[in-house]
């Protein structure tokens, strides 16, 4: 019987697994994707300290893989999860067939799913190739190939639109917490890669807490324009060689038309689709947002021996996810001592 089952091999799950492995506890890490890393895989440099996402993942993966007590199952889904602390049993659907795993406690680090802005037709998403999501933009920046999809040339101007699928009664009412940070970060990186590019961020409220505020100030200093507005529409210009963003600058009440080569939609986070199923099988609750409910925050749940870490309990930035991964690992280790 192993000690802890960790569901989700993103940065949070990897952090928890590596900490528990370090303590010599038996850990089973289950990841749906073929590789570990989760949503972090698409990123280049991460926010704040600028450490490469790849290095961040590789460091933890090495720790886990080199441990004798940690087992990693990639390309694997949880078929069923039964029982309660201290006897839980999970049936895993691995590429090599079904596998039963018994454990004492569970850490849910299922993370988030990026919001799909397919319904955002008024922003031209899916209708114009130059309207992309922030995830696509991050991949372009990472590969140092920041070009327009329509003609393969570097853009002269890039506009970020904030709060896509967040703070919206029609989609998700909660704030996705990290969009402002990555948008400011991406805007700075665009400025670095193409110094003459005009970069604008259209925001409802800039929410960059703690040291992120310094990055925001840095972006303002380096010439990124910030306009307080949620645009009404994005239209293709004449001859489709540029896009026009129609918005009201709410700080001076003027209607403006911003011509831009590329529009980046700062998409928010959604709960993973099987969060409800996992919660029901473990006897815990999901909140109004669909993410797991913490009682008390940050890592405990209603059920003993079931911990929630990282973005599984709501959108969070990387630093918080890593901290919560460690916290959940520590709490699980305390339980194992009893």
DSSP string, 57-120: HHHHHHHHHT-SSEEEE-S-EEEEEEEETTEEEEEEEETTEEEEEEEEEEEE----EE--GGG-
Residue with tokens 């909660």: 174
Contact with another protein (CB under 8 A) among 204, 293, 335, 336:
204
Instruction: Report if residue 149 touches another protein, rule: CB under 8 A.
Output: no
Binding mask 10-39 for another protein (x = CB under 8 A): ------------------------------
Nearest to 246 by CA among 272, 267, 227, 274: 227
Rounded least distance, CB 250 to another protein, Å:
4
CA distance 123 to 111: 27
Stretch 100-129 residues interacting with another protein (CB under 8 A): 122
CA distance 111 to 236: 35
Contact with another protein (CB under 8 A) among 75, 248, 274, 285:
248
Binding mask 151-170 for another protein (x = CB under 8 A): ------------x---xxxx
Contact with another protein (CB under 8 A) among 231, 298, 305, 325:
231
Instruction: Report if residue 222 touches another protein, rule: CB under 8 A.
Output: no
Closer to another protein by Cβ: residue 94 or 171: 171
Applying CB under 8 A, the span of 22-30, 81-89, 130-138, 229-237 interacting with another protein comes to 229-237
Contact with another protein (CB under 8 A) among 91, 113, 193, 246:
246
E strand intervals along 109-204: 113-114, 131-133, 157-164, 198-203
Per the CB < 8 A criterion, the answer to whether 130 and 148 are in contact is yes
Instruction: Report if residue 288 touches another protein, rule: CB under 8 A.
Output: no
Per the CB < 8 A criterion, the answer to whether 192 and 219 are in contact is no
CA distance 229 to 248: 6
Per the CB < 8 A criterion, the answer to whether 169 and 201 are in contact is no
Exposed/middle/buried for 234, CB within 10 Å: 0-12, 13-18, 19+? buried
Nearest to 199 by CA among 245, 230, 168: 245
Helix (H, G, I), strand (E, B) or coil at 4: strand
Closer to another protein by Cβ: residue 217 or 254: 254
Closer to another protein by Cβ: residue 205 or 218: 205
Applying CB under 8 A, the span of 48-56, 178-186, 226-234, 282-290 interacting with another protein comes to 226-234
Q: What angle (nearest 5°) sits at the alpha carbon of residue 252, between those of residues 250 and 254?
A: 80
> SS3 breakdown of the chain: % helix, strand, coil, rounded to 5?
30, 30, 40
Applying CB under 8 A, the span of 48-56, 146-154, 218-226, 246-254 interacting with another protein comes to 246-254
Applying CB under 8 A, the span of 82-90, 110-118, 230-238, 306-314 interacting with another protein comes to 230-238
Contact with another protein (CB under 8 A) among 35, 192, 254, 295:
254
Contact with another protein (CB under 8 A) among 178, 226, 247, 292:
247
Residues that bind another protein (CB under 8 A): 122, 163, 167-170, 204-205, 228-233, 246-250, 253-255
């Amino acid at each position: 019987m192993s000690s802890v089952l960790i569901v989700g091999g993103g940065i949070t799950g990897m952090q928890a697994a590596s900490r528990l492995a370090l303590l010599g506890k038996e850990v089973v890490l289950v990841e749906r994707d073929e590789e570990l890393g989760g949503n972090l895989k698409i990123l280049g440099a991460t926010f704040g300290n600028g450490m490469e996402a790849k290095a961040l993942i590789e460091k933890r993966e090495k720790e886990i893989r080199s441990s004798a007590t940690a087992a990693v199952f990639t390309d694997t889904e949880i078929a069923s999860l039964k029982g309660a602390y201290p006897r839980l049993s999970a049936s895993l659907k691995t590429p090599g067939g079904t596998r039963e795993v018994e454990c004492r406690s569970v850490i849910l680090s299922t993370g988030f799913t990026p919001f799909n802005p397919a319904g955002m037709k008024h922003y031209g998403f899916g209708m114009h190739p130059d309207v992309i999501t922030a995830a696509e933009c991050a991949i372009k920046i990472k590969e140092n190939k920041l070009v327009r999809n329509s003609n393969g040339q570097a853009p002269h101007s890039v506009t970020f639109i904030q709060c896509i699928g967040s703070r919206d009664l029609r989609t998700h009412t909660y704030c996705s917490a990290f969009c402002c940070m990555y948008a400011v970060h991406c805007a700075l990186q665009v400025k670095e890669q193409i110094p003459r590019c005009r970069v604008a961020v259209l925001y409802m409220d800039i929410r960059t807490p703690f040291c992120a505020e310094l990055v925001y100030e840095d972006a303002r200093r380096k010439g990124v324009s910030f306009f307080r507005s949620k645009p009404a529409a994005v239209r293709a210009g004449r001859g489709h060689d540029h896009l026009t963003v129609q918005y009201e600058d709410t700080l001076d009440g003027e209607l403006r038309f911003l011509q831009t080569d590329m529009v980046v939609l700062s998409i928010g986070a959604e709960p993973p689709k099987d969060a409800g199923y996992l919660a029901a099988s473990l006897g815990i609750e999901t909140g109004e947002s669909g993410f797991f409910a913490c009682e008390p925050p940050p890592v405990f749940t209603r059920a003993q021996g079931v911990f929630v870490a990282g973005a599984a309990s709501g959108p969070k930035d990387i630093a918080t996810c890593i901290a919560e991964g460690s916290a959940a690992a520590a709490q699980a280790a305390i339980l194992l001592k009893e």
